[in-house]
Amino acid sequence: MTDQEKILSEVTGSDYKFGFHTDIDTETIPKGLSEKVVRIISAKKEEPEWLTETRLKAFRHWQTMKMPEWAHLRIPEINYQDIIYYAAPKQEAKYESMDEVDPELLDTFNKLGIPLEEQNQLAGVAVDAVMDSVSVKTTFQDTLADKGIIFCSFSEAVKNHPDLVKKYMGSVVPYTDNFFAALNSAVFSDGSFCYIPKGVHCPMELSTYFRINAANTGQFERTLIVAEDDSYVSYLEGCTAPMRDENQLHAAIVEIVAMENAEVKYSTVQNWYPGDKNGKGGIFNFVTKRGICKGDNSKISWTQVETGSAITWKYPSCILRGNNSVGEFYSVAVTNNYQQADTGTKMIHIGKNTRSTIISKGISAGKSENSYRGLVKVLKGAENARNFSQCDSLLLGDKCGAHTFPYLEVDNMSAIVEHEATTSKIGEDQIFYCNQRGIDTENAISLIVNGYAKEVLNKLPMEFAVEAQKLLAITLEGSVG
Amino acid sequence: MLEIKDLKVNIEDKEILKGINLSVKPGEVHAIMGPNGSGKSTLASALAGRDYFDITHGKIIYEGKDLLELSPEDRAREGIFLGFQYPVEIPGVSMVNFLRTAINSMRKYRNQDPLPAGDFLKLMREKKQVVEIDSDLTNRSVNEGFSGGEKKKNEIFQMALLEPKLAILDETDSGLDIDALRIVSNGVNKLRSPENATIIITHYQRLLDYIVPDFVHVLYKGRIVKSGDKSLAKELEEHGYEWIKQEVDAEM
A439 close to B (CB below 8 A)? yes
Which amino acid belongs to residue A335?
Answer: T
pLDDT tens figures, A82-120 = 888 887 766 554 455 555 566 666 666 666 666 565 545
Contact residues on chain B for A437, CB-CB shorter than 8 A: 76, 98-99, 102, 105, 158, 162
Indicate the pTM of the whole model.
0.79
B87 close to A (CB below 8 A)? yes
Residues A237/A269, Cβ–Cβ less than 8 Å: yes
ipTM over 0.90: yes
Would the CB atoms of A5 and B104 count as touching at under 8 Å?
Answer: yes
* CA quadruple B148, B153, B158, B159: dihedral, nearest 10: 120
Would the CB atoms of B97 and A454 count as touching at under 8 Å?
Answer: no
Nearest Cα to Cα of residue B85 among A440, A426, A432: A432
Question: A99 φ, ψ to 5°?
Answer: -60, -25
pLDDT at A373 over 50: yes
B70 close to A (CB below 8 A)? no
Which amino acid belongs to residue B160?
Answer: A
User: Residue A122 and residue A236: Cα distance in Å, rounded?
Assistant: 13
Would the CB atoms of A433 and B88 count as touching at under 8 Å?
Answer: yes
B141 close to A (CB below 8 A)? yes
Work out the angle at residue A416's Cα, subtended by the Cα atoms of residues A413 and A420, and round it to the nearest 5 degrees: 140
User: Residue A264 and residue A283: Cα distance in Å, rounded?
Assistant: 28
pLDDT at A1 over 70: no
Which amino acid belongs to residue A298?
Answer: S
Domains and CATH numbers, chain B: 2-251 (3.40.50.300)
A5 close to B (CB below 8 A)? yes
What is the helix (H) or strand (E) element at residue A226, kind and residue range? strand A221-227
CB-nearest to B92 from A429, A439, A452 is A452
Which chain A residue shows the shortest CA-CA distance from B106?
A438
CB-nearest to B102 from A4, A437, A448 is A437
pLDDT in tens, chain B (252 residues): 999 999 999 988 899 999 999 999 999 999 999 888 889 999 999 999 988 788 999 999 999 999 999 999 999 999 999 999 999 999 889 999 999 999 999 999 999 999 998 899 899 989 988 888 877 788 899 999 898 888 999 999 999 999 999 999 999 888 888 888 888 899 899 889 999 999 999 988 888 889 999 999 999 989 999 999 988 888 888 888 888 888 877 776
Q: Looking at chain A, how many residues does it have?
A: 481
What is the helix (H) or strand (E) element at residue A262, kind and residue range? none
Would the CB atoms of A430 and B84 count as touching at under 8 Å?
Answer: no
A4 close to B (CB below 8 A)? yes
Q: What local confidence, expressed as pLDDT, does residue A21 receive?
A: 65
Query: What are the DSSP E strand ranges found in A90-220?
Result: 125-131, 134-138, 150-153, 190-196, 205-211
